[in-house]
Homo-oligomer: A and B are copies of this chain.
Amino acid sequence: MTQSPRTTQRRPGVGVLHAAACEVFAERGFHGASVRDIAQRAGVSMAALYHYYAGKQELLEAVLTEATETYFRMCDEALKAAGSDPADRLAALVRATVSYLVSHRLQSSLLLARKGIADLPEPDREVAAAGTRLFAEVVEAGVEQGVFRTPFPDDARRTVVAACNAIVEWYNPAGPVPPEQIVERYVHLALTAVECVRRAPGPRS
């Protein structure tokens, strides 16, 4: 559904499998998901699955990698579009994160459940670290420039990230609040959390 076009081209079945794996892993977790389930959901035989992926683990890694890349691409683009003002940059990151969460809910669950779901050896830590750094740099810049006044930059950053991530647990696309509004709310909350001096702009004001 959302895998990068590169991986889909010329390999019919791989797209379906990727999407199915995403769903089933998100629903039942790595150990709870059976390869049978995934193949069935994709509408192919198990042997076909093994034609494309070396195993369950690789399937998970593929899904995770794709999700990670997409998320970081969104963050990078958002940061590029933002200016140099820390508040703007933090807002950009929050917007990217929340947008990703509401538009890629399965991948988000997966990404956030990564820890402990399987043994994703090295790259996992790097990725988590990269995600941390993205926010950390912005927050630190804001603190240095005196525009973020929080006495606890690290914990404020963790709060912002945790708040965004938690959205995946309650967000309902059929719910009353449209995504854009959620985005702006969390921008507000983020700027509040870091104690931004220019009062967090009320949503869309």
Contact = CB atoms under 8 A, between A and B. Distances in A.
Most buried by B among A116, A165, A189: A189
Contact of A155 (B109, B151, B159, B186): B186
Interface of A: 26-32, 109, 113, 115-117, 150-152, 155-156, 158-159, 161-163, 165-167, 169-170, 182, 185-186, 188-189, 192-193, 195, 202-203
Smallest CB-CB A-B distances: 7 pairs: A31-B31, A162-B166, A159-B163, A31-B32, A162-B162, A152-B185, A162-B163
Given A29-B31, A113-B113, A158-B167, 20 more contacts: A29-B29, A29-B30, A29-B32, A30-B31, A31-B32, A109-B116, A113-B116, A150-B189, A151-B203, A152-B185, A152-B189, A155-B163, A155-B186, A156-B189, A158-B163, A159-B166, A159-B193, A162-B162, A162-B166, A165-B166
